[in-house]
């Protein structure tokens, strides 16, 4: 497809969404469904203008998905303003660790039992499809940092955490397939991929987020410095926390998420427990854009910093979502869906996920209706695409890679349309209650 045609199609899509985006809120549709439909129309199932070979171009798709996920994870962390001493944090931690492990195990068991898949391949597939998504789940996540809805908080924090906690299982599956060194008896996997990479990633991100936030506020309040570059601050903190974590063999996804949470914690500590209303912050941003002295001396300076960073990152996140979902739609090809997917995808969404959530939250303080909604609203998306492309890069066979691509892309497609139609009315009902 010529660049000129790409430019025209992308421009028409973006202009259309800008003009009629609000119209989608009154329909049982989402903009993500629109992006995906356009991708399908451009790909082999439609006009055939776009041909994306997910195996041959796995590296490119992996990088696009990586950018989308890290930006979204940082935004997710910035929205979580609940202090760590609040017991509500235990719910997403249990979802991201206990329910995640159970989901991987149940998927692997189903594939081994019914399809006689190798345990390594089964665990790898489970790890790819288990995490919920921070990029495509805006319908069920916190609407702002001032939102204190318990259901939305749990789903948001779970999506932020489990996009990193799935990594050890990806490494385990690759290790059992002989593509990653897990050591004799798995000791290296336990020591590096589990015991170090998870807490190490969280610690590195938290350190950079806290130190950066404190330094920026100090410069702005004490020395009237460090104004006007919040976009650089956002991208710099994401790149710093992610890059350093990966260099030290820790999980960059968890590091970026922790950096966002830590930056928000700095704002909460300096601003107090009550966050100013969103309309006040918006008015302050408009009024003080060119008045750094006022911002520096204002008590709202911490909130101004975090909201500016969040607003810029959300724009990048939206653009990344458009690009990735278009690519996903264009990846679908005729006769590409494996027969097992007809029963496996419903089993994952309506069987395995609810069972894993129910078992993971046994004895928790969550209400029964909230648990049912958490169980059903486990949206799959760009995180699974990243893990898929990352695994292909380790040297999976061409045949297995293509089967895996078909299964993952169709699972994400079903989740986009199923949750896109059902999630908005369910969340509106929950919000009213």
pLDDT at 294: 47
The answer to whether residues 154 and 147 touch, using CB atoms and an 8 Å cutoff, is no
285-327 residue pLDDT tens? 544 454 555 454 555 566 677 777 777 788 888 888 888 998 8
Are the CB atoms for 291 and 227 separated by under 8 Å?
no
Contacts with 358 (C-beta within 8 Å, 6 or more apart), sequence order: 371, 375
Given the structure tokens 């061409």, which residue do they identify?
398
* Model pLDDT, residue 25: 67
231: pLDDT strictly greater than 60? yes
Rounded to 10 degrees, the C-alpha dihedral 113/118/120/124 comes to -70
pLDDT band at 283 (very low <50, low <70, confident <90, very high): very low
d(CA 251, CA 163): 10
**Residue 233 confidence (pLDDT) above 60:** yes
Calculate what percentage of the chain has a pLDDT beyond 70. 88
pLDDT (0 to 100) of residue 276: 47
The rounded mean pLDDT for the chain is 85
399 in Cβ contact with 359 (< 8 Å): no
Tell me the residue range of the domain where 212 lies: 3-432
CATH number where 328 lies: 1.20.1530.20
The per-residue pLDDT for 432 is 75
Q: Inform me whether the pLDDT recorded for 187 exceeds 50.
A: yes
Sole residue written with tokens 């101004």: 304
Please say if the pLDDT value at position 348 is more than 90.
yes
Per-residue confidence band for 112, with pLDDT thresholds at 50, 70 and 90: very high
d(Cα 109, Cα 433) in Å, to the nearest integer? 38
pLDDT for residue 35 is more than 60: yes
pLDDT at 221 over 90: no
Report, as an integer, the average pLDDT of 360-369: 86
Residue 184, phi-psi category: left (phi > 0), alpha (psi -120 to 50), beta (remainder): beta
Q: pLDDT for 236-254, tens place per residue?
A: 999 999 999 999 999 999 9
Question: pLDDT value at position 139?
Answer: 81
270 has pLDDT over 60 = yes
The more confidently predicted of residues 227 and 92 is 92
At residue 341, does pLDDT exceed 80?
A: yes
Q: What DSSP character marks residue 146? A: T
How many domains does the structure of the chain reveal? 1
Helices (H), 248-352: 252-271, 278-288, 292-297, 301-331, 341-347
User: What pLDDT digit, counting tens, does each position of 45-100 carry?
Assistant: 888 888 888 899 999 999 999 999 999 999 999 889 888 888 889 999 999 999 99
Query: Which element (helix H / strand E) includes 99?
Result: none
Contact criterion met (CB below 8 Å) for 410 and 402: no
Give dist(CA 103, CA 109) in Å, integer.
10
Give kind and range of the element (H or E) at residue 359. Answer: helix 353-360
Instruction: Give the span between the Cα atoms of 118 and 103, in whole angstroms.
Output: 17
- What is the mean pLDDT of the segment spanning 203-214? 94
User: Is the Cβ–Cβ distance between 404 and 388 less than 8 Å?
Assistant: yes
pLDDT at residue 208 tops 90: yes
Tokens 């629109």, residue located:
34
The larger pLDDT score, comparing residue 133 to residue 107, is at: 107
**Residues 269, 275 contacting (CB under 8 angstroms):** no
Phi-psi region of 50 (alpha: psi -120 to 50; beta: other; left: phi over 0): beta
**What DSSP string runs through 81-96?**
-S-TTSGGGHHHHHII
pLDDT value of position 273: 57
Length of the chain: 433
| pLDDT of amino acid 275 | 52
């Amino acid at each position: 497809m010529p660049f000129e045609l790409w430019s025209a199609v992308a421009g028409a899509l973006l202009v259309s969404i800008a003009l009629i985006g609000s119209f989608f809120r009154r329909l049982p549709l989402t903009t993500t469904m629109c992006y995906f439909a356009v991708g399908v129309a451009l790909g082999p199932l439609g006009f055939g203008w776009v041909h994306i070979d997910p195996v041959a171009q796995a590296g490119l798709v992996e990088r696009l998905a990586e950018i989308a996920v890290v930006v979204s994870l940082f935004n997710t962390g910035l929205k979580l303003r609940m202090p760590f001493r609040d017991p509500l944090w235990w719910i997403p931690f249990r979802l991201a660790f206990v329910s995640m492990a159970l989901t991987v195990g149940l998927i692997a068991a189903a594939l081994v039992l019914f399809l006689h898949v190798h345990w390594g391949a089964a665990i790898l597939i489970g790890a790819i499809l288990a995490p919920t998504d921070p990029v495509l789940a805006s319908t069920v996540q916190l609407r702002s940092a001032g939102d204190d809805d318990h259901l939305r908080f749990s789903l948001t924090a779970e999506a932020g955490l489990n996009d990193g906690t799935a990594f050890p299982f990806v490494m385990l599956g690759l290790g059992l397939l002989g593509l990653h060194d897990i050591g004799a008896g798995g000791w290296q996997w336990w020591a590096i991929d589990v015991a170090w990479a998870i807490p190490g990633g969280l610690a590195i991100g938290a350190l950079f987020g806290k130190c950066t936030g404190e330094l920026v506020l100090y410069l702005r309040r004490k020395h009237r410095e460090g104004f006007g570059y919040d976009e650089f601050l956002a991208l710099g903190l994401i790149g710093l926390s992610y890059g350093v974590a990966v260099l030290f063999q820790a999980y960059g996804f968890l590091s970026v998420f922790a950096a966002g949470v830590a930056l928000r914690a700095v704002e909460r500590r300096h601003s107090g427990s009550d966050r100013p209303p969103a309309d006040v912050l918006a008015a302050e941003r408009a009024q003080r854009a060119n008045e750094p002295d006022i911002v520096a001396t204002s008590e709202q300076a911490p909130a101004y910093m975090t909201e500016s960073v969040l607003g810029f990152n959300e724009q990048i996140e939206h653009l990344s979502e458009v690009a990735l979902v278009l690519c996903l739609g264009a990846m679908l090809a005729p006769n590409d869906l494996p027969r097992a997917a007809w029963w496996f995808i419903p089993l994952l969404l309506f069987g395995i996920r609810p069972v894993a959530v129910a078992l993971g939250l046994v004895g928790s303080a969550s209400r029964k209706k909230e648990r049912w909604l958490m169980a059903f609203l486990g949206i799959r998306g760009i995180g699974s695409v990243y893990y898929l492309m990352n695994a292909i890069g380790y040297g999976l066979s061409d045949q297995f890679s293509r089967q895996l691509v078909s299964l993952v892309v169709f699972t994400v497609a079903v989740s986009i349309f199923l949750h896109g139609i059902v999630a908005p009315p369910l969340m509106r009902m929950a919000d009213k209650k």
